Amino acid sequence: MRVTLSEPKRGNPTLLAVLVVASLVLITVYFREGDTGLLHKAREATLTVTAPLSKVGTAVAKPFEAVGDWIAGFGVSRSEVEQLRQQNAQMRAQLAQLEEERKQYERISSLVQFAEQRKFTQLGARVIGRPTSNWEGVITIDRGTADGVEPGMAVIAAQGLVGQIDTVSAHASRVRLVTDEQSGVAAMIQRTRAVGVVNGSIDRTLHMDFVDKAKLPKVGDVVMTSGLGGVYPKGIVIGDVIDVDARRADLFPRITVASRVPITELEEVLVLLGPVSVESTGAVE
């Protein structure tokens, strides 16, 4: 079987020669004629017609060129953006750490100042456990017998009385809160000097009992430890009176007190270790 291959068509050499000669003639005439020549006028007319079209094409293409440049620039700076993002995250983490250290310094400074003003022999401790339910009226701190902590010692915060050491191990202790239903504190109304006992309750509300009706407190009066009984030093703020109910049928008024200590936010406390100078423990507002 024979396969016949067709030969490629060749161009017309005569036509090519004619076009070349015509081009040479036109170029020669164009350079020899003046600016008013026929070919120059034809060129100017062509530019006049095509110039608006060229401007329109440039205007249409510019937005696409700008988008292309933006995309190209974005691709080039991608690594730089990622680096800046990482640096920003590191700076925010460092800022958060510095802010936490500042707040901790303020809290500890307030505690130390409060204790030094009253010449308390104190031991700083961190809260490592809070009440897990409304029925539990204790917190746990990271100090124990190895640090000289014993049951019965008072525990305070910068805002006032927290409670009393209940049980102790070598490196931790449970603190029974003043708001616990099993707690009782010998107390005194700062303004009237009326004494009584502040008791906790199952709903964590404080009530001051056995106050003489002749020395009724007012809402807003400060309640502090009286120092009677020798359990708590005198002059530690317990809270503020928020309600007074003096019914005739009752022997003593019903006084409700709100603790100033934010138990759910408490992070550091002081354990009072040694004897206290009663003269130095004035009332605080």
Whether residue 272 sits in one domain with residue 177: yes
Whether residue 39 sits in one domain with residue 86: no
According to DSSP, residue 277 is labeled -
Whether residue 90 sits in one domain with residue 27: no
Domain with 96, as residue range(s), is 77-112
Average pLDDT over residues 273-285: 45
Distance CA 228, CA 206 (A): 19
Q: Would residue 8 count as lying in a domain?
A: no
180 by Cβ neighbours in 10 Å (0-12 / 13-18 / 19+) ranks as: buried
Whether residue 135 sits in one domain with residue 87: no
The pLDDT tens digits for 13-48 are 777 676 766 666 666 666 666 666 666 666 666 666
User: If we measure between CA atoms, which residue out of 148, 130, 149 comes closest to residue 140?
Assistant: 130
Average pLDDT over residues 156-174: 93
Last residue of a domain, one of 61, 92, 112: 112
281: alpha, beta or left? (left if phi > 0; alpha if psi -120 to 50): beta
Give the count of beta carbons closer than 10 Å to the beta carbon of residue 110. 14
Whether residue 82 sits in one domain with residue 21: no
Q: Would residue 1 count as lying in a domain?
A: no
Higher-confidence residue: 249 or 178? Answer: 178
The pLDDT tens digits for 200-221 are 998 889 999 999 988 999 999 9
Strand partners, 156: 161, 270
CATH number at residue 258: 2.40.10.340
Whether residue 152 sits in one domain with residue 64: no
Q: Would residue 4 count as lying in a domain?
A: no
Handedness of CA 162, 168, 169, 170 (dihedral sign): positive
Contact, 183 vs 164, CB < 8 A?
Answer: yes
Whether residue 138 sits in one domain with residue 276: yes
pLDDT at residue 117, as a whole number: 57
Whether residue 98 sits in one domain with residue 26: no
Helix H or strand E segment including 65:
helix 38-76
Whether residue 240 sits in one domain with residue 99: no
- Mapping DSSP to helix (H, G, I), strand (E, B) and coil, where does residue 80 land? helix
Number of domains into which the chain is organized: 3
- Mapping DSSP to helix (H, G, I), strand (E, B) and coil, where does residue 257 land? strand
Whether residue 48 sits in one domain with residue 102: no
User: If we measure between CA atoms, which residue out of 106, 160, 108, 103 comes closest to residue 268?
Assistant: 108
Mean pLDDT of all residues belonging to the chain: 77
pLDDT at residue 281, as a whole number: 37
According to DSSP, residue 265 is labeled G
